[in-house]
Amino acid sequence: MTEDQRIDTVSSTHDAGAQPSIEHAASSAAEQSSSSVPTIEMRHVDKHFGDLHVLRDINLRVEKGEVLVVIGPSGSGKSTLIRTINRLETIDSGEILLEGKTLPLEGKELAALRSEVGMVFQSFNLFAHKTILENVTMGPIQVLGMPKKEAEEKAMELLKRVGVAEQAAKVPAQLSGGQQQRVAIARSLAMNPKAMLFDEPTSALDPEMINEVLEVMVELAQGGMTMIVVTHEMNFARRVANRVIFMADGQIVEEDTPANFFDNPKTDRARDFLDSIKGH
């Protein structure tokens, strides 16, 4: 990516931050699809775990500002799919590109790339021995070389944004699951990521804590963040997703707008799956 493009994308992020409507975010993402490089692109990606073919010829484009929800039965490869994007899983063949650049294999470039793609895990994975504030400042200080004071100010701002600023001096075990997950989101945001990946971010939460996390994610989406979210939260998908992909047996079986997909699934597999999760 050239310097000009970079400046351009940064400024457009700021524009998008000025409270656009959901429709606006969706349409701007659609507009860009024809003109600019996608933020994330997967081309013919295959992966095996031993004999198990977990990803089969995955092709995917996620445009800047787009929110993509990945849905599917367990074992369908949806977690593996997003974990390949910041290379927590390797791939056997195919190509993954970030803003048009191929994913580096190892070393410093890979670490740099990982810092540009935020990742939020099902089990929060906060650093247990660090305070909440330190959890958020570690990346900026160690990876971006930000001065400690600046990093702390920025971290407090982010913690305020996700609503856990008053917990800054505590350690993770003293927080509820919902609070921990919001801290994990702040930790990712502190790196100014170009995209955020969410791997079932609410699956480990008690029901009463799911919404507080989803709210933060909705705000992020409306702020123009490029997101891939593995989740079964249909209301979330309907509210903010531009697109839903349905995976089964390592393949993308169906791809559609949330309204079309949830109301009118085209394949039997998707219909069966939706029936099974609507029960709860």
Partner 1 sequence: MGIGELISTYGEIYLQSLMKTWGMTLISFCLAMIIALVITVMRVSPMRPLRMAGDLYVQIFRNIPGVSLLVIVVYALPYLQLTLPYETCALVTITLVVSAFASENLMTGINTIGVGQIEAARSVGLSFGQILRHVVIPQALRSVVLPMTNLLIGTLLTTALASQVPLNPPELTGMVNYVNSRSVGGIGAFFISALGYAGTSVIIGLIGNRLDQRVRILR
Residues of the shown chain interacting with partner 1 in the complex, contacts defined by CB under 8 A = 86, 88, 108, 111-112, 114-119, 121, 123-129, 138-139, 142-143, 171-174, 184, 187-188, 191
Q: Decide whether 28 or 84 has the Cβ nearer to partner 1.
A: 84
Q: Decide whether 169 or 277 has the Cβ nearer to partner 1.
A: 169
Q: Decide whether 176 or 211 has the Cβ nearer to partner 1.
A: 176
Q: Decide whether 175 or 252 has the Cβ nearer to partner 1.
A: 175
> How near is the Cβ of 206 to partner 1 at its closest, in Å?
18
CB 116 within 8 A of CB 191: yes
Q: Decide whether 29 or 216 has the Cβ nearer to partner 1.
A: 216
**DSSP 8-state secondary structure symbol assigned to residue 173:** G
Q: Decide whether 45 or 197 has the Cβ nearer to partner 1.
A: 197
Q: Which two tokens stand for residue 199?
A: 């791997």
The one-letter amino acid code at 1 reads M
> How near is the Cβ of 184 to partner 1 at its closest, in Å?
7
Strand spans (E) along 72-200: 93-98, 101-102, 117-120, 195-199
Q: Decide whether 72 or 172 has the Cβ nearer to partner 1.
A: 172
CB 243 within 8 A of CB 68: yes
Q: Which two tokens stand for residue 17?
A: 């931050």
CA distance 14 to 64: 13
> How near is the Cβ of 114 to partner 1 at its closest, in Å?
5
Going by their DSSP bridges, the two strands 93-98 and 40-49 should be labelled as antiparallel
> How near is the Cβ of 224 to partner 1 at its closest, in Å?
21
CA distance between the termini of the chain: 45
Q: Decide whether 44 or 101 has the Cβ nearer to partner 1.
A: 101
> How near is the Cβ of 125 to partner 1 at its closest, in Å?
4
> How near is the Cβ of 127 to partner 1 at its closest, in Å?
6
DSSP 179-220: HHHHHHHHHHHTT--SEEEEESTTTTS-HHHHHHHHHHHHHH
> How near is the Cβ of 142 to partner 1 at its closest, in Å?
5
CB 201 within 8 A of CB 46: no
Rg for the chain, CA atoms, rounded = 18
CB 151 within 8 A of CB 133: no
> How near is the Cβ of 213 to partner 1 at its closest, in Å?
16
CA distance 37 to 258: 24
CA distance 189 to 202: 18
